[in-house]
Amino acid sequence: MRATPREVIHPVATEYVIVCAKNHGSPTQNFIASSPADVTNQFCVYGTVRTHPEVLRRSAMDGRRREEDREGEKELRRAAREGNTDRVKQLLAEGINPSAASKEQTTPLHYAAYVGNHETVSVLLTAGADVNARNKSQRTPLHWAAWSGHHESVSALLTAGADVNARGEEQETPLHQAAGKGHHETVSVLLTADADVNARSKSQQTPLHMAALNGHHETVSALLTAGADVNARDKEWQWTPLHRAAGKGRHETVSVLLTAGADVNARDKSQQTPLHLAALKGHHETVSVLLTAGADVNARDKEQITPLHWAALNGHRETVSVLLTAGADVNALVITEMSPLHMAALNGHHETVSALLTAGADVNAWDKEQCSPLHRAAGKGHHETVSILLTAGADVNVRNKSQKTPLHWAALNGHHETISVLLTTGADVNARDVTQQTPLHLAALKGHHETVTVLLTAGADVNARDESQITPLHDTALKGHHETVSVLLTAGADVNAQDEEQWTPLHRAAWSDQHETVSVLLTAGADVNARDKEQITPLHWAALDGHRETVSVLLTAGADVNAWAGAQITPLHWAALYGHRETVSVLLTAGADVNARDVEQKIPLHLAARYGHHETVSVLLTAGADVNAQDDTQITPLLLTAWHGLHETASVLLTAGADVNARDMWQCTPLHRAALNGHHETVSVLLTAGADVNAQDEGEDTPFHDAATRGRPKCAEVLLQHGADAAIRNREGLTAEDIAADEYVDPVPDLSEWKDVQIICARKEILKLLREKTTELSAHEEFDPVLVRFYEERGMTVVKKDCPLIEEAAKESGKTVQQVKNFIGNYLKSKGDGKRRPTTGDMAAGKSDITAGERRPSKRQSSQPSGSGILAKKERRDGIPEGRTDQVPVSRPSSTQAAQSGRDAPHVSESAS
């Protein structure tokens, strides 16, 4: 029997449906759905869905009512926060929820408890407000009342059933809150209500920790009376309440805790006692209280630091005096063997230094680095402290482990006032450290020209040389301190002094791109064409890293733009090598030979092309560079770009007329090189430019052979698309298909076993590609009967001794020699086993059939096109293993990064020669 339909209305819906109950319920029973899914899940739908005006009206009314309720709740919280009890009563009478919470879950009762209006608190509680409501921080109204110290509100909340030990999100109780604020009356109320006096927060702090930290000694007394653990430890530092109070200098609280039995020598996580913490902050009254109670004045922490070290380090003179009076060891050493005097001197606390010296501190004590207190004070420029130490008998020329004197340290940091004090007391102005550097070297290196002036006035040797024969002028020129350079030159510094690498100050300034300093040196007579051990000039070094402004300054001063370095390298070679286009332009404008050749007969274009600097390549070509120049292995710039897959640069060279079929000494074309190394984009560029797709090298390998050898399927595909002849045989009688089918890999430097596997897998892809591209031809369609007769009757092969026979067959059949060779391979394949027919000569020599797997590695395939000169040295500098030319370096370290000190400039053997 069909059920009776009835109406179902969703409270916020804008539609209704006619349904009947699945469960055969009463058709007159009201049903309120919480979602449309409730309707479809509980009822069978009949009829159609349509708009219902009553639903729209009810939805609008409900929305207005909810908005009014929200405003009323806000008003209630506001009234509670302001303590407006009458307004609170009015809103409650209107039906506003007394526990209505904000977005932070804060209720009106929280606010009333916080402001301490106990009348409002009572009204809300009477209206049914949740006494243990929690906000987002999990704090109850009791937490808020305790924090504010409103003990009457606290009492009212407790009477209404508030949880006295409720925990916030940090596990803090109301007692923690009251104790931390020192509300001792509130603390008493909570304790009377059985609050846990030793409750621990998330950081394991008790209420006593909180009260002690803030010095609330009355609250501390109340907690102790209630049974608080006086030696409780927190989590992070294992501090007791006494540590907390001592660190903050709460001496009254410290006294209360000690009277209650606190351990005066309790140790924290780092073995520090309360006395350490009090001394660290200079709380001398607290220090006195602790010492009176029996604190160990010479207690040591993990780093062997005593309270006296802390007080001295921070210059707390009164605390130092209290500790010394109590018997502190004035010469105690920490783990780095520094004494309290070292620490006071380090920070320039001259009054503390005086107190320590009076108490018997060793003025010449050494720390672990053999530095004296005078070293420490001089290095920081504390001239008053330096004077006190010297008056007390400090050795003015004392040396540390590196043989530096206090004067070295003061000079390094440019403390000229301190230097004057040291010099007046007899400091050796030309003292040398372990590297033979003088104070003047260090001051010059840092560019402290005032200090340099003071030292020179005192007789410093302006041309002193260190162990690397470096003068102060070398050092300051490297860093570009042109003011200091001028001071040194005025004092007679040798402008052309050479170090052990025969670098002059001008070399150093040019290398580090200090063009202002370069100008100063040149004005003073520096040799613009000075040469170092490798015959490198300042212009070479400036060009190396593309220091265009420095290059211009040097050229204006007469630098030889075509000067040769040791390997006949010109500045233009180096600028081109690293792609410094602007520098290249400056050099060319100044007359640089665009086709200058180095020891390997490479011109700058070779070097720019090798590393893909196509913008620099364009500049060189515009200036007349020979686009087809060959080096001593007949390699052209295009061959280099092809080898390394630099297709953008290859395009620039081809546009400029580069010979796309140029051959090197192994008769390889650019296409061979690109195919061998798998650069399919470069292969496409070369073929589009007219590269001979079937060109053969000295081993009669085609680019397709090379692609098969190294397993380059993408290159193979491009070559086939451009007409590569897969049937061509090399000198060993092998086609590309033979090689692709082979599971033997030629030994190539730095190819791992895993690389071999990759090559073999890639060859299989090429084999598949070949078989998809070729179709079988019948013997009578493919094979010339004249050639068949030559093969069957006379045993013609592709080995060298059969060349006359091949030539005779070619002449008689009217075909080329290569076509005859191709015939032999194809005819063998038609016979089934892919093996050549052995000749009578082979049989006599005892030779077996030759298969693809028995061939020997091609010597040409492992040949290096980069040589052993500038390119090879650049590759070593850039991190490319020797013997690997199939990779382009990701990056190279800048030569300027090598300058870690004044002696870190690169030698030519590390960069280029």
Q: For the chain, what percentages of helix, strand and coil (3-state, to nearest 5) are there?
A: 50, 0, 50
* Long-range contact set of residues 91-97: C-beta below 8 Å, sequence gap at least 24: 92/123, 92/124, 92/127, 96/69, 96/72, 97/73
Residue 27 DSSP one-character state: T
Q: Measured between alpha carbons, how far is 285 from 584 in angstroms, rounded to an integer?
A: 74
Closest CA to 716 of 660, 746, 674, 755: 674
775's torsion region: left (phi>0), alpha (psi -120 to 50) or beta?
Answer: beta
Q: For residue 398, what are the CA distances in angstroms to 393, 408, 416, 432, 892?
A: 12, 11, 19, 12, 44
pLDDT for 525: 98
pLDDT for position 763: 77
Quickly list DSSP for 298-322: T---TT---HHHHHHHTT-HHHHHH
Asked if residue 266 lies in contact with residue 294, where contact means CB atoms within 8 angstroms, the answer is no
∠437-442-448 over CA atoms, to 5°? Answer: 155
What CA–CA distances, in Å, run from 23 to 3, 41, 909?
Answer: 10, 11, 95
Residue whose entry in the numeric block shows the structure tokens 């001295």 = 312
Judged by DSSP in three states, 68 sits in: helix
| Tokens representing residue 259 in the block | 């009277």
Which residues are CB-neighbours of 154 under 8 A, at least 6 positions away?
142, 145, 146, 174, 186, 189, 190
Buried b (16+ CB within 10 A) or exposed e, 292-327: ebebebebbbeeebbbbbbbbbbbbbbbbbbbbebe
Q: Which residues does residue 21 pair with via DSSP β-bridges, in sequence order?
A: 43
User: CA dist 117 to 112, 150, 474, Å?
Assistant: 6, 8, 79
Burial of 719 (0-12, 13-18, 19+ CB in 10 A): buried
Angle at Cα 243 formed by Cα 239 and Cα 246, nearest 5°? 165
DSSP H stretches of helix in 197-239: 207-213, 217-225
Confidence (pLDDT) at 770: 77
Q: In angstroms, rounded to a whole number, what is the distance separating the alpha carbons of residues 332 and 343?
A: 11
Q: At which residue do the structure tokens 């092309």 appear?
A: 609
**Reduced 3-state DSSP string for 365-377:** CCCCCCCCHHHHH
Regions in the chain scoring below 50 on pLDDT: 1-52, 55-56, 750-751, 753-754, 775-781, 832-868, 873-913
Break the chain into its structural domains and give their ranges: 6-51, 58-192, 203-261, 779-831
Residue 68 confidence (pLDDT): 60
Phi-psi region of 853 (alpha: psi -120 to 50; beta: other; left: phi over 0): alpha
203-261: same fold as 58-192?
yes
The whole-angstrom separation of Cα 385 and Cα 348 is 6
DSSP structure string for 90-151 = HHHHTT--TT---TT---HHHHHHHHT-HHHHHHHHHTT--TT---TT---HHHHHHHHT-H
CA angle 367, 368, 372 (to 5 degrees): 30
Tens of pLDDT along 644-658? 999 999 999 999 999
In angstroms, the Cα distances linking 322 to 56, 284, 287, 314 are 85, 7, 8, 15
**Terminal Cα-to-Cα distance of the chain (whole angstroms):** 105
Structure tokens at 895: 């030569």
Which CATH superfamily does the domain covering 203-261 fall into? Answer: Ankyrin repeat-containing domain (1.25.40.20)
For residue 565 the two structure tokens come to 């370095």
**Burial track 724-738 (b if 16+ CB lie within 10 A, e otherwise):** bebbbbbbbbbbbbb
Cβ(697)–Cβ(676) under 8 Å? no
User: How far apart (Å, rounded) are the C-alpha atoms in residues 889 and 873?
Assistant: 13
Q: Is 364 helix (H, G, I), strand (E, B) or coil?
A: coil
**Dihedral angle sign, alpha carbons of residues 32, 34, 36, 38:** negative
What was the pLDDT predicted at 13? Answer: 40
Is 440 in contact with 472 (CB distance < 8 Å)? yes
Query: Count H helices, E strands: the chain?
Result: 50, 3
Domain 58-192, classified CATH 3.90.850.10, yes or no: no
DSSP state of 3: P
> Exposure string (b/e) for 445-464, b if CB count within 10 Å is 16 or more?
bbbbbbbbbbbbebebebeb
Beta strand 43-51 pairing with 15-21: antiparallel
Rounded CA-CA distance 142/162 in Å is: 7
Cα 694 to Cα 713: distance, rounded to the nearest angstrom: 17
Q: How far is CA 292 from the centre of its chain?
A: 54
